[in-house]
Amino acid sequence: MRKVAAIVIASAFFAILLISFYQIPQSGYSGSEYYYSNPITGSHANESVPSHYISGTKNETGAVNAVTAIVVEYRGFDTLGEVTVLFTAATGVAFLLHKGKGGKKRAEANLILREGSKLVLPFILLAGAYIFIHGHLTPGGGFPGGAVIASGFLLMMLSYPKFFMKEKPVSITESFAGITFAVIGLLGLLFASSFLENFLPLGNAGYLLSAGIIPVIYIAIGFKVGSELSSIADKFKEVQK
């Protein structure tokens, strides 16, 4: 009975979503119906927000990757928030699971897995670092880069049952990366006019050293996400019985 009710509700919900999906107007970015209004001055612009993102990215932020420009510059405050969500989750996991170490012995992984993972670990870490350092030039950025790094450590945890993340360096990395992000935001308040505003020279778009604060923030995010995700995985491994 419950199952039938669940199926009925789920399919009704699915139908509603499908119908509304077909109702979404398919028009593109341009067109004057998407003008926006500025709440502070009360003026109207004849451009939609997405088209502003596409046309303004290079001049306003110096980044080539528009997604990065949106994530770190236009909506950088949201990114600070999202990093904090992950930080909160990692802290919560550590808070709830920090008791009970050890656990049952697991068999050693076989030779090929052990040596192979030792061999690929540096390359995984390198790929992660590449992804977050080049966030303003190529697809990717702090979150994916950090996740790739964490998956490298995860590989080590899987192939070596005795592999542990040392708690202290991980939590110090995490803290310093977070502090860097927040302090850059506050420096923006100090040197420029608002929180998280760019205060470094933009440089030539397309070069590694360009786009002002974006690479700095993305490196901080990369370290932070990497250390947080690997510490979450490590905490779950630690309490295994």
How many Å apart are CA 172 and CA 27, to the nearest integer? 48
37 is a contact residue toward another protein (CB under 8 A) = yes
Nearer to another protein, 14 or 207 (CB): 14
Three-state SS annotation for the chain? CHHHHHHHHHHHHHHHHHHHHHHCCCCCCCCHHHCEECCCCCCEECCCHHHHHHHHHHHHHCCCCHHHHHHHHHCHHHHHHHHHHHHHHHHHHHHHHCCCCCCCCCCCCCHHHHHHHHHHHHHHHHHHHHHHHCCCCCCCCHHHHHHHHHHHHHHHHHHCCCCCCCHHHHHHHHHHHHHHHHHHHHHHHHHCCCCCCCCCCCCCCCCCCCCCCHHHHHHHHHHHHHHHHHHHHHHHHHCCC
Nearer to another protein, 210 or 220 (CB): 220
Q: Residue 147: how many CB atoms within 10 A of its CB?
A: 20
The correct pick among 8, 12, 15, 16 for binding another protein (CB under 8 A) is 16
Q: Which among 110-118, 191-199, 201-209 is the span making contact with another protein, rule CB under 8 A?
A: 191-199
Residues 118-177 close enough to bind another protein by CB under 8 A: 131, 139-141, 143-144, 147-148, 150-151, 154, 158, 171-172, 174-175
Please tell me the count of residues contacting another protein according to CB under 8 A: 85
Stretch that binds another protein, among 39-47, 115-123, 200-208 (CB under 8 A): 39-47
Candidate segments 110-118, 203-211, 228-236, binder of another protein by CB under 8 A: 228-236
Q: How far apart are CA 75 and CA 179, in angstroms?
A: 19
Q: By CB under 8 A, is residue 241 in contact with another protein?
A: yes
The nearest distance, CB 182 to another protein, in angstroms, is: 4
Part in contact with another protein (CB under 8 A); list of ranges 112-120, 189-197, 202-210: 189-197
Minimum distance, C-beta of residue 105 to another protein, in the bound complex (Å): 13
Nearer to another protein, 191 or 207 (CB): 191
Site for another protein in 56-115 (CB under 8 A): 56, 60, 65, 67-68, 73-78, 80-82, 84-85, 87-89, 91-96, 98
Residue 236 in the binding site for another protein (CB under 8 A)? yes
